[in-house]
Amino acid sequence: MRTERHVARKQVGIRDVAAAAGVSVTTVSHVLNDTPHTRTSEQTRQRVREAAADLGYKPNRLARGLRTQASGMVGLITEEIATTPHAGRIIQGAQEAAAQRGLTLAIINSDLNPDPDIDPQLLRALTDRQADGFIYATVYHDEVVVPPEMHTSPAVLIGARDGDGDVPSVIPDEKAGAVAVVDMLRAAGHTRIAFAASSVDVPATRGRVAGYRERLASEGIPTERLIVESPTESEAAGGYAAAMALLNDGTPIDERPTALFCYNDRMAMGAYRAAAELGLSVPRDLSIVGFDDQAPIPYSLYPELTTVALPHYEMGAWAVETLAALVDGKGEHRLLGAHPTLLACPIVHRGSVASPVTAS
Amino acid sequence: MRTERHVARKQVGIRDVAAAAGVSVTTVSHVLNDTPHTRTSEQTRQRVREAAADLGYKPNRLARGLRTQASGMVGLITEEIATTPHAGRIIQGAQEAAAQRGLTLAIINSDLNPDPDIDPQLLRALTDRQADGFIYATVYHDEVVVPPEMHTSPAVLIGARDGDGDVPSVIPDEKAGAVAVVDMLRAAGHTRIAFAASSVDVPATRGRVAGYRERLASEGIPTERLIVESPTESEAAGGYAAAMALLNDGTPIDERPTALFCYNDRMAMGAYRAAAELGLSVPRDLSIVGFDDQAPIPYSLYPELTTVALPHYEMGAWAVETLAALVDGKGEHRLLGAHPTLLACPIVHRGSVASPVTAS
DNA sequence: CTGAAAGCGCTTACAG
DNA sequence: CTGAAAGCGCTTACAG
């Protein structure tokens, strides 16, 4: 008399429903799936539905998938999810969009890939399970070269474009985000806006400085002396050093920057410390803006950090929506593949920006 | 002449391999799966394997699953993955353990559930796909009541125990972690060790204070005046306030705490700020220890924060390993269900702890 | 309008 | 030792 808790009690199948309703399995399938061009009397439909409910019938998606050649599953491969701060939001966005469409999301975690070639082996578990499509999410490459499977099946890239210009992709519009920050700071009355830049070469780095530099340049404001790169990584210590270099370089106090735009929130943390050591009050003496909206930094700082959010959730959702459209044969994905879709990075206003006290 | 990139080119099946190798599909299945008690001549095996490789044969897991009644898929349901800091590590641990066993991990995200009843609807997508087992991860409840499916199928809980004492579960050993911190601080020579407690009632809260309090009590050190609760949430501002209350309450300087153990890293951030404002240098004048090892706080602080890591990755891995054992019929899960498995929370030594300067 | 039957791609008793 | 055949639970032309 062993415990048999995990022995499934004869799963009820479509045949059982048919028997209970006194119709054929064909009919059951039609009414339960609302197959178009199939007219079944309302009375029969009723009977079928009741029988299904009574028996607690749940269609076996494996069987259906085998028959229809569509698993209803999409695979998300993400590089080193743990190290990329908000990867969770990508997964969440993808999962919720998938659920809305009756799709199930399978996750594959990959090691951080130093070169831009995607390992075809990663797709293996997914292709074996007949995934309807693939999403590959990376954060360290501008361009990536995708394995053949991703060319022959619906696929989508997050955070990098396809080198062949074939697979659709989505990336954050870092540059526009930086431009918006400059505009916001200008509107608050700042003219001397410094930038604490990153020294590591990832896609985000270039877009952010570019937005900052070009926007200021377009208003005739020279930025050479206002940009300093972190001497180390883009962490708090680097932000501290950059801020120190910027604010404590011997220039007269009334020529110092009144606003400091940091490459990311972690560097902004260091900038806060530098400001404190220099006796500068944020935001009165110095406005500080970050980038990433990386929890829990922005609301752990005092005052809370005004920063720019990355559209992780939105990219995840965009990915499965685009995938679903490709699977359905809609959407001219070739066109999509040529240029990455840019998603907005909205400013999150908190307490670290104010108008400069020194009126010009 | 429409583009037909997504039209699969006649997927090669087991039948094709059989034909190419000149054997039956039975034989192909046996050699490819290494079916025990089946002796096939080495020569035949060779031929089969070559044919499979040549044709690029990939078994269809859907078909196999249908036949064997085992999908090879496990489902992970996580409550509000985005808000729980390191949920990504749970997913990673689960995914990697799954991959090692040839299992695929499907993810379902759920809203934060205010009450302890798990919504059976969440399992729907998973049961329809014949998931071999379920993992439910929560962080806000001590106990949870699981739906019937999780009683009749292999299932496992992360972060909470089953109210019925039936489903195996795993939780961090918060208390032991806190005890270890006290021991470490005592070994460094501290006697006046304060605790900045959390005011929010989650499982973690109780274990951490308990460990702190009991350990000190066991050494005859009274802790009443050394514990102060955050007046607000367990964020930086609360840590700041608690630290201020602890360090700036008018007690003579040589009676002040020399070490401050914070409920979590976020509160520790606030404690750093309080220390700075009081002119206390960390760790010389005050040692600070956090809890959670929540990126990027510990290495964003100066000096870097010594803290306690949560075994997220390990819990994820434990979950699928346990699940796999249950699926295989091994493991007396009833016994497992009675008491949660505790996983160690290791101290991560960084720069915020030193021996007190004021020798006793 | 409805149903019998084939078949999706596998695995696995069972017979030879 | 090897293979023919049934069957997992569905969907879907096709015939009635």
User: Each residue of B175-227: pLDDT tens digit?
Assistant: 999 999 999 999 999 999 999 999 988 888 999 999 999 999 999 998 888 99
Residue window 314-333, chain B: list those with CB within 8 Å of chain A.
Answer: 326-327, 329
Q: How far is A168 from chain B (nearest CA, A)?
A: 14
Rounded to whole angstroms, the distance from the CA of residue A119 to the C1' of nucleotide C11 is: 31
Is the distance between the Cβ of A30 and the closest atom of strand D smaller than 7 Å? yes
pLDDT tens digits along A22-32: 999 999 999 99
Rounded to whole angstroms, the distance from the CA of residue A63 to the C1' of nucleotide D11 is: 9
C-alpha–C-alpha distance, residues A136 and B302, integer Å: 36
Do B337 and B168 form a contact (C-beta atoms < 8 A)?
yes
The answer, yes or no, to whether residue A3 has pLDDT greater than 90, is no
pLDDT tens digits along A203-249: 889 999 999 999 999 999 988 889 999 988 889 999 999 999 999 98
pLDDT of residue A85: 64
Tell me, which fold does domain B70-167+312-341 have in CATH?
Rossmann fold (3.40.50)
| DSSP assignment of A226-264 | GEEE-SS-SSHHHHHHHHHHHHSSS--GGGS-SEEEESS
**Nearest CB to A65 within list B62, B105, B327:** B62
| DSSP assignment of B68-132 | HT---EEEEEEETTTTSTTHHHHHHHHHHHHHHTT-EEEEEEE---SSSBPPGGGGHHHHHTT-S
C-alpha–C-alpha distance, residues A202 and A216, integer Å: 22
The residue among A251, A290, A286, A301 whose CA lies nearest residue A356 is A286
pLDDT tens digits along B229-247: 998 888 999 999 999 999 9
Residues 154-193 of chain A within 7 A of strand D, judged by CB, are none
User: What sign does the CA torsion over A238, A242, A245, A247 have?
Assistant: negative
Q: Cβ atoms within 10 A of the Cβ of A299, count?
A: 18
| Mean pLDDT, range B85-92, rounded to an integer | 83
pLDDT of residue A4: 39
Element (H, E) at A331: none
| Mean pLDDT, range A175-187, rounded to an integer | 98
pLDDT tens digits along A141-170: 889 999 988 988 899 999 999 988 889 999
Do A90 and A158 form a contact (C-beta atoms < 8 A)?
yes
pLDDT of residue B328: 82
Do A194 and A213 form a contact (C-beta atoms < 8 A)?
no
Is the distance between the Cβ of A109 and the closest atom of strand D smaller than 7 Å? no
Per domain, the residue ranges of chain B are 14-59, 70-167+312-341, 174-310
Closest nucleotide relative to residue A40's CA, C1' based:
C1
Question: Cα B253 from chain centroid?
Answer: 41
pLDDT of residue B181: 98
The answer, yes or no, to whether residue B84 has pLDDT greater than 90, is no
pLDDT band with cut points at 50, 70 and 90 for residue B5: very low
Q: Which two tokens stand for residue A30?
A: 């039609």
Question: What CATH number does the domain located at B174-310 have?
Answer: 3.40.50.2300
Do A352 and A287 form a contact (C-beta atoms < 8 A)?
yes
pLDDT of residue B82: 54
Count Cβ–Cβ pairs < 8 Å, chain A vs chain B.
Answer: 170
pLDDT of residue B271: 97
Same fold, B70-167+312-341 and B174-310: yes
pLDDT tens digits along A273-284: 999 999 999 999
Spatial CB neighbours of B261, under 8 Å, sequence gap ≥ 6: B178, B181, B182, B185, B193, B194, B195, B196, B212, B289
pLDDT of residue B4: 39
C-alpha–C-alpha distance, residues B160 and B204, integer Å: 11
Radius of gyration from C-alpha coordinates of chain A: 27
Pairing of strands A193-197, A287-289: unpaired
C-alpha–C-alpha distance, residues B227 and B244, integer Å: 12
Residues 51-90 of chain A within 7 A of strand D, judged by CB, are 57-60, 63-64, 66-68
A120 vs B283, more confident = B283
Q: Which residue is nearest to nucleotide D3 (CA to C1')?
A: B24
Closest nucleotide relative to residue B25's CA, C1' based:
D3
Is the distance between the Cβ of B26 and the closest atom of strand D smaller than 7 Å? yes
Task: Write down the CATH superfamily of domain B14-59.
Answer: lambda repressor-like DNA-binding domains (1.10.260.40)
A4 vs B279, more confident = B279
pLDDT of residue B307: 98
